[in-house]
Amino acid sequence: MSRDQSSQDYDLWSRTLSLLLLGFICYALPLSVFAALPTAPNGAPVLRIQGSNTIGAQLGPALIKALFAAQGLRDIRSEAGKAENEQRILARQADGRLVIAEVAAHGSGTGFVALKNGSADLAASSRPIKPAEASELAPLGNMHAAQSEQVIAIDGLAVIVNAANPIGSLNVEQLARLFAGEIHDWSELGGRPGAVTLYARDDNSGTYDTFKELVLSPDGHSLAASAKRFESSTELSDEVSRDPNGIGFIGLPYIRQAKAVAIASGDSQPMLPSATLIAAEDYPLARRLFFYNPAQSSNPWVRALIDFTHSAAGQQIVADNGFIAQTVQAIKVTPQPQMPTDYRQLAEQAQRLSVNFRFQEGSASLDNKAQRDLSRVLDYLRSHDKLHDKVVLVGFGDAKSDPARAELLSKLRAMAVRRELARQGVVFRDITGLGEELPVATNSEDSGRLRNRRVEVWVY
């Protein structure tokens, strides 16, 4: 459903979705969602989410509504909260008792503060938790652990300009100089003359944190003081679409009437924020969206929402709200001349799955998302009869002084994935490592090297 459709269309979609969910809930959801969940006394909320505007504006409330529907609640609706960018989702049990959830969307950082002071049950974040935040929340458990850190969707930061702007692609260095105020006029980039106007999210925003980390900080840049700041993603996008000289960055669902430009990082090719490239986290400005929860939370609604979000039904809600679901699909890749010979042959004969396995920083262990992706890939292989001699793993890495060492390390990463999948009965056709070939990010920064250390899955 388009985010620009009328509210009537949205209400009709919500009612239809609720009926569909109730129709297939018996096989799409984990059993824990079935258990009747308690209400709270005296009209208190059963669930409180605080944090990212990217999640809280649409996705979080949509997931809660669908969970309410799965619980058999009725009269599901939302209303404005006490402040701007806050919502309450309300529903009724069969006996008429009111069930309430609250969502406050003031930026990712506010979610971790709310977890600490006990005013939220879940933190919604459009960036990974920072070391200082994790340390502050240590009394609630290890927030980096798989039971606390939940990757709920993939998003891409789209760099947007006015639809009439002739600029079609930029590299990360140009982006940094633009938003630092070092490039003042579009003519400096080959565009039409006109003073550049910068639009950015506010300091509480995970979107801004991600942009700062991926674009500004690597070369020591800071956002220009002249940038116009916004708490609302929608307002920012609409302002850029009205400004012929405007440029901004935004979550993928908020491109709206603006134009996205292709982005290159290091030696990578310029990439538009397509669903395929974002799902695999190859697009330079791809990012993960998170729920963070105390590992020992006593609130059953927290686990129910997490389980629902990871289910097929929950990931469909992710897709319906314009983000990238983690559902595994096979994708045909167009062979390109710059591809290594064996890889080009693979592209000609096989299909790539829409997931890359990545690793914990400074470790050979799969990260939290990859651990869940193992189950998703296995489900795909089983349902498509690909368990025996149909799968190829291709490992990649960052550049090393010795190319042979880079190739070896990349194959070892592929072998780590092989070990986990083989335990579940997967018999592989081939396993290879391509070292530093086909980078998706710059190798000059830690974050880029981490993105280049990946394992692709191909199926015949």
> Could you identify the residue written with the tokens 């080959």?
190
* Residue in 61, 64, 66, 58 with CA at minimum distance from that of residue 18: 66
Positions of the chain with pLDDT lower than 70, given as ranges: 1-35, 362
What would the CATH number be for the domain defined by 328-459? 3.30.1330.60
Angle at 356 between CA 214 and CA 254, to 5 degrees: 50
pLDDT number for residue 448: 83
Predicted local distance difference test score (pLDDT) of residue 198: 98
With both helix axes pointing from N to C terminus, report the angle between 300-310 and 60-70 in degrees, rounded to the nearest 10.
100
CA separation (Å) from 341 to 334, 336, 337, 345, 429?
Answer: 14, 10, 9, 6, 18
The pLDDT, as a whole number, for residue 23 is 40
What one-character DSSP code corresponds to residue 185?
B
Torsion of CA 327, 441, 411, 329, to 10 degrees: 20
Instruction: Let me know the angle formed at the C-alpha of 442 by 438 and 443, rounded to the nearest 5 degrees.
Output: 90
**Which tokens hold the place of 251?**
């979550």
Residues contacting 50, CB < 8 A, separation 6+: 103, 104, 106, 110, 111, 113, 114, 115, 119, 120, 122, 123, 124
Largest CA distance in the chain: 70
Could you give the 3-state DSSP secondary structure of residue 65? Answer: helix
Cα 333 to Cα 62: distance, rounded to the nearest angstrom: 33
Tell me what pLDDT residue 8 has. 39
Residue type, 297: S
How far, in Å, CA of 309 to CA of 287, rounded? 17
∠ Cα 336 158 156 (to 5°): 75
What CATH number labels 156-277?
Answer: 3.40.190.10
- Can you give the pLDDT at residue 18? 41
Burial of 292 (0-12, 13-18, 19+ CB in 10 A): buried
Look-up of token digits 């045909």:
332
**Superfamily per CATH, domain 7-148+293-320:** Periplasmic binding protein-like II (3.40.190.10)
Name the one residue in this structure whose structure tokens are 């879940």: 122
Write down the pLDDT at residue 20: 42
pLDDT for 35 equals: 58
The SS3 of residue 103 is strand
Give every CB contact of residue 425 below 8 A, 6+ residues apart in sequence.
387
pLDDT number for residue 11? 41
Distance CA 453, CA 398 (A): 6
Helix (H) or strand (E) holding 330: strand 330-331
| Counts for the chain of helices (H) and strands (E), in that order | 15, 18
Asked if the domains 7-148+293-320 and 156-277 are classified in one and the same CATH topology, the answer is yes
Q: Can you tell me the distance from the alpha carbon of 222 to that of 216, in angstroms, rounded to the nearest whole number? A: 6
Closest listed residue to residue 72, CA positions, set 108, 53, 99: 99
What's the CA gap between 55 and 61, in Å, rounded? 9
Cβ partners under 8 Å of residue 435, min gap 6:
396, 397, 400, 403, 406, 407, 409, 410
Domain boundaries along the sequence of the chain: 7-148+293-320, 156-277, 328-459
Q: Is the dihedral of CA 208, 209, 214, 219 positive or negative?
A: positive
pLDDT at 252: 85
Residue 101 sits at φ, ψ, to 5 deg, of -125, 145
